[in-house]
Structure 1
Amino acid sequence: MILTIFGATGQTGKELVKQALLTGHTVKAFGRNVFSTQFLKNANLQLIPGALFDEKDVRNVIAGSDAVLSVIGGAFDGSDKSRSLGIKNIIAQMEALSVKRIVALGGMGVLPAEDGSLLMDAKNYPEEYIPVGKEHLKAYELLKASTLNWTFVCAPDLEDAAATGLFVTASEGRPAAGSFKINIGDLALFMLNEVSKNHFLQQRVGIGNS
């Protein structure tokens, strides 16, 4: 597949780029600082600088792609709107180009609790994660309202560790047997599998190491 990766210069993005190349995909890595980031040298890697909020930049990188992977990061205090406004632009350009498949990264707080409320609405949910959770919620709502074949991966705390294959997932909820952490390697592994296998179309997915 030809994959465009947004957020390619972050920890998860770099791992996605690496795993995608090692499994034979062609990768278009997009970001402001792609040329100053150390990536695996590979003939199937295209480094494409650009601005996430620029319609032309985003449209040009998506053009000709089979699917999009979005792991946009940013500040946790709510001041950075990259997660919501960035995905809004990505959705618009994908729809304009009729590129339908996207797997996007969000946070665990956007998952539904047993009573139908969101996990981040619980009294014991860490207060410092509320602002970024609201950004993730906006991104999820934009995807849900789109015409795309989307999957929204609602990850817990990320661990800077390699893939083990020892993780569990759940549709529209937190996996009961999963921990509150996920290795970045396993997160990337799941996202790459999902982008082609389409097990969780139009769904939020909980994930955690087992």
Structure 2
Amino acid sequence: MKLLIFGGTGKTGRELIKQGLAQGHQITAVVRNPKKLKINNPNLRIVKGDVLLPESIESSFQGQDAALSALGHKRFFIKTTILSRGTKNIISAMNKNGVKRFICITSLGINDSRFKLGLYYTLFTIPIILFFYFLDKSKQEKRIMESDLDWTIVRPAQLTNGKLRTSYRHGIKVGHYVLTKMISRASVAHFMLENLESDRYLHKAVGITN
């Protein structure tokens, strides 16, 4: 498949690119700073673009079969709408170019998965450290759910840099109210790629944990 990936310079995005290439996909990675993505492969095209600047990303959607987003940001303490605004621009560009399949990472603990990251996140991390980040992710999910795309939202537990495990758990009710579950970025990327041509979680937000 021809895949367009956003957030490719992040740790999960790099896993998407690496595993996607290994599976034989043709990948276009849209990144703000191409120098940060030091992956050389004939099936990888790196395009400079910013999701907050629609004109810089629209042409990248031409001829693509699907788009995957691993967007994130590190300004957790600052009120921001980077994810929701950027996703709005991605959805608009997909509609203009007739690309329907969209898989996007958010997180457990959002919307109807509230409290599913365990007590530590529910009572401390989300309200005190990640409040604005999770608020933006919630708005991001809403934009996706209101779109006409063939979307799947992937809600991982706490992300780690562990090795790929294909025996992870996934489902609408995945998560825990007390314990903080974990999942490797490699496993999340694997799950996203595995669901590209599946309708099992079409128009659904699915949790994933070890």
| Structure-2 separation of matches of 1:68 and 1:77 | 29
Give the match for residue 119 of structure 1.
115
1:9-62 deviation line (CA, Å, top 9, x unaligned)? 1100011000000000000011111233222x2111001111211222221111
Query: What are the superposed Cα offsets for residues 83-117 of structure 1, whole Å, 9 maximum, x if unpaired?
Result: 1111010001111111100000001111525xxxx
Q: CA deviation at 1:78?
A: 4.4
What is the aligned-residue identity percentage? 29
Contact 2:51–2:86 (8 Å) recurs in 1? yes
Distance 1:80 1:31, change over 3 A: farther
Q: 1:36 to 1:112 in 2, by over 3 A?
A: closer
Name 1:66's counterpart in structure 2. 65
Is structure 2 residue 206 aligned with structure 1 residue 205?
Answer: yes
SS at match of 1:135: helix
Q: How much is the aligned-residue C-alpha RMSD, in angstroms?
A: 2.1
Residue 145 of structure 2 aligns with an amino acid whose one-letter code is K
Please list every run of 5 or more consecutive structure 1 residues that lacks an aligned counterpart in the other structure: none
Q: Which residue of 1 aligns with 2:154?
A: 153
Matched ranges for 1:1-210 at <5 A? 1-39=1-39, 41-75=40-74, 76-112=76-112, 118-119=114-115, 124=123, 126=125, 127=127, 128-171=129-172, 173-175=173-175, 180-209=181-210
| Contact preservation (8 Å) 1:152, 1:205 | yes
Following the alignment from structure 1 to structure 2, what is the Cα–Cα distance between the partners of residues 125 and 146?
32
Give the TM-score normalised by structure 1: 0.89
Q: Which runs of 5+ in 2 are unaligned?
A: none
> How many residues are matched?
202
Within 2, Cα distance between the matches of 1:205 and 1:111?
A: 12
Change (3 A) 1:14 1:99: same
Q: What is the TM-score when the length of structure 2 is the normalising length?
A: 0.89
